[in-house]
Amino acid sequence: MKADRQLILEDGSVYTGIGFGSRRDIICEVVFNTSCAGYQEILSDPSYTNQAVVMAYPLIGNYGLADEDYESRLIAPGALIVRDLCDDPSNFRSTCSVRDLFEEKEIPGLCGVDTRRLVRNIRDHGARRGILTDISVPAEEGVRRILDALIPHDAVARCSCRKKWYSRTSNPRFHIVAVDCGMKLNIVRMLNRRKCNLTIVPYDTGSEEILAMKPDGVFISNGPGDPADVPEIVEMLKGLHGQVPLFGICLGHQLIARSYGAKTYKLKFGHRGGNHPVKELSTGRIEMTSQNHGYAVEEASLEGTGLKVTHINLLDGTIEGLSRESDKVFSVQYHPEAAPGPQDSIQILDRFLDMMKRG
């Protein structure tokens, strides 16, 4: 088939391909994911809100989509960009194809793209915005439209739940309040399996309301965007310091750091994939982790916060874990629940349970 759509980046580079899903134009930050499998979980991960996801692995859609494997009710990315899109899945569990899903949800997609060249551009020069549009649009016009477009700062508000909801298990040992910043369902499943009842609350719930629920612990979830965009969560966390065991992952990790006065910064192209090696400093243990974030905690800003670095990323030395034992607080930058990805770090959930057991 002949190319009919294109991705124009704000540096003026052009990547042509064949459109699928919606034909509407969309402007997003363009990021890449290096996972070889798990595209359904990636598509339903709210952390990709406002982003166009480039899959570095060339073949996407070959095992279709299964109703049980979604990580949220959302199809989160603004767009999907792939090399080869399979329209004939081979999987007895599959209920539809990626193309069918994108047509149903009216989300733009682009296939037939030289994703090797695109990923290398992002890797070398950093994540940037792009526009997915008709092939007839000149590159100069595309760049102008990108630069004129406002950068959204409401990603967490868009994907957080609107009202609190519950996920219960039999013979529960603990009650956890989970703050939904864009939470994946597998973290709920993992905590339920560990005999925890969960009350999931919107991102803008106040600390007094959370403490009134008498939780044994509070969990701050993953989510999209810049942690500086949600100061209300930082203020809520300040009200929880020392009051209740506190555990955060991904965006939750960054927000906990900011609540103690640390700073965060934007990474060049982020960490998105299922093969990031992380070292636990106290034991020397190395885990392969699943990650999806574009920001990190600034190490120099930790001085005077009382936070201790517990984990580091072995690829670039960035901070992957923090703790403050006196306040019963700890956090990790990666996704211990995986989905998709390796399950090396699931035991970090047991550390949260041990902390709640000690009170």
Structure tokens at 86: 């399979």
Which residues are known to be catalytic? Answer: 250, 335, 337
Structure tokens at 80: 């999907």
> At residue 206, what is the residue type?
G
Structure tokens at 123: 């890797």
The secondary structure of the chain, three-state, reads CCCCEEEEECCCCEEEEEEEECCCCEEEEEEEECCCCCHHHHHCCHHHCCEEEEECCCEECCCCECHHHCCCCCCCCCEEECCEECCCCCCCCCCECHHHHHHHHCCEEEECCCHHHHHHHHHHHCCEEEEEEECCCCHHHHHHHHHHCCCCCCHHHHHCCCCCEEECCCCCCEEEEEEECCCCHHHHHHHHHCCEEEEEEECCCCHHHHHHCCCCEEEECCCCCCHHHCHHHHHHHHCCCCCCCEEEECHHHHHHHHHCCCCEEEEEEEEEEEEEEEEECCCCCEEEEEEEEEEEECHHHHCCCCCEEEEEECCCCCEEEEEEHHHCEEEECCECCCCCCCCCCCCHHHHHHHHHHHC
> At residue 122, what is the residue type?
I
Q: Is the dihedral of CA 95, 99, 105, 111 positive or negative?
A: positive
